């Protein structure tokens, strides 16, 4: 390559010049008729790709540093917008105030609200799952409940809809099962208007969630989402979306050591993971 070409390339790039020049030399060998401007364009393109690659590498390093650091949501009380950010245990602001609401981190992700919609950020504050949902719950065992067009389903951390939205209520997974709620109308007349999201492949279990499970009849908890009315009935699903225990309870709690507390009419009792009654409480 002559000096004029190398000079033009070096002016177009800086930090990654050696890598870019090598790539451009390969291109010139392929197409010797390339003019000077074309060579500069190729050099800039290679530089951008190298920069993006380096940026991703640095982000991964930074995420590893933050992996074991607890970040908690905090609201800016000094600003009229009262936006949320995240601070560490020492009170240092790690993620700037820029969210309308903010959930707790679990499995490396936290739900945030942006322009009226919910998505997920990582510990660098980067939006890794777009804000497109009406509400988002907490990740647990690799899945999180989300609300879309009025119904609740489950996504994985790659934003794939693993269990299509079909429930009025959805809690976080624990011990491979999750509490879900359906209205009596939906139970009697199921309509699968979200069939396009349905997945048949089983999802491997991820890390156990860090959030403690709570009574699912309480609305909009960080772990559970949805609307509960007097005709909502609760049951349990597995990670493939199969209903393991029918929606027939007035309330239901998450499983703990293969047992769960449920209520039907005025009777509260414990059941096993097959729905068999263990004892009346």
Domain-ending residue, one of 39, 66, 93:
66
pTM over 0.75: no
The verdict on 116 and 35 lying in the same domain is no
The verdict on 160 and 273 lying in the same domain is yes
Range of the domain at 93: 68-133
The verdict on 143 and 248 lying in the same domain is yes
The verdict on 107 and 124 lying in the same domain is yes
The verdict on 154 and 275 lying in the same domain is yes
pLDDT per residue over 218-229, tens digit each?
333 457 887 777
Q: Report the domain count for the chain.
A: 3
The verdict on 109 and 27 lying in the same domain is no
The verdict on 257 and 145 lying in the same domain is yes
Q: In the prediction, which pLDDT does 7 show?
A: 56
The verdict on 15 and 34 lying in the same domain is yes
Overall average pLDDT of the 253-262 stretch: 94
Domain-ending residue, one of 91, 114, 133:
133
The verdict on 94 and 59 lying in the same domain is no
The verdict on 185 and 219 lying in the same domain is yes
The verdict on 72 and 207 lying in the same domain is no
pLDDT per residue over 140-160, tens digit each?
999 999 999 999 999 999 999
The verdict on 92 and 212 lying in the same domain is no
Domain-ending residue, one of 66, 85, 115:
66
For the chain, the three-class secondary structure string (H helix, E strand, C coil) is CCHHHHHHHHHHCCCCHHHHHHHHHHHHHHCCCCCHHHHHHHHHHHHHHHHHHHHHHHHHHHHHHHCCCCCEEEECCCCCCCCEEEECCCCCEEEEEEECEECCCECCEEEEEECCEEEEECCCCCEEEEEEECEECCCECCEEEEEECCEEEEECCCCCEEEEEEECEECCCECCEEEEEEEHHHHHCCCCCCHHHCCCCCCCCCCCCCCCCCCCCCCCCCCCEECCCCCEEEEEECCCCCEEEEEEECEECCCECCEEEEEECCEEEEEECCCCEEEEC
pLDDT above 90: percentage of residues in the chain: 54
């Amino acid at each position: 390559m002559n000096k004029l070409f190398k000079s033009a390339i070096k002016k177009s790039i800086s930090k990654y010049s050696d890598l870019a020049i090598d790539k451009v030399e390969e291109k010139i060998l392929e197409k010797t008729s390339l003019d000077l401007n074309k060579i500069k364009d190729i050099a800039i393109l290679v530089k951008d790709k190298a920069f993006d690659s380096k940026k991703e590498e640095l982000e991964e390093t930074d995420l590893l540093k933050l992996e074991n650091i607890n970040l908690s949501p905090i609201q800016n009380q000094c600003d009229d917008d009262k936006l949320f950010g995240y601070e560490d245990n020492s009170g240092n602001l790690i993620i700037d105030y820029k969210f309308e609401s903010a959930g707790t981190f679990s499995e490396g992700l936290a739900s945030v609200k942006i322009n009226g919609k919910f998505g997920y950020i990582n510990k660098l504050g980067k939006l890794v799952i777009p804000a497109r949902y009406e509400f988002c719950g907490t990740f647990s065992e690799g899945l999180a409940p989300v609300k879309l067009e009025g119904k609740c389903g489950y996504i994985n951390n790659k934003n794939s809809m693993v269990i299509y939205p079909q429930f009025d209520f959805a809690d976080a997974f624990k011990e491979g099962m999750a509490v879900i709620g359906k209205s009596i109308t939906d139970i009697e007349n199921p309509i699968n208007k979200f069939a396009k999201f349905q997945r048949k492949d089983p999802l491997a279990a991820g890390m156990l969630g860090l959030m403690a499970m709570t009574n699912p009849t309480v609305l909009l908890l960080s772990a559970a989402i949805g609307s509960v009315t007097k005709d909502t009935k609760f049951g349990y699903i597995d990670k493939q979306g199969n209903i393991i225990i029918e929606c027939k309870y007035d309330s239901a709690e998450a499983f703990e050591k293969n047992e769960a507390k449920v209520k039907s009419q005025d009777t509260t009792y414990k059941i096993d993971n097959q729905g068999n009654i263990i004892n009346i409480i």
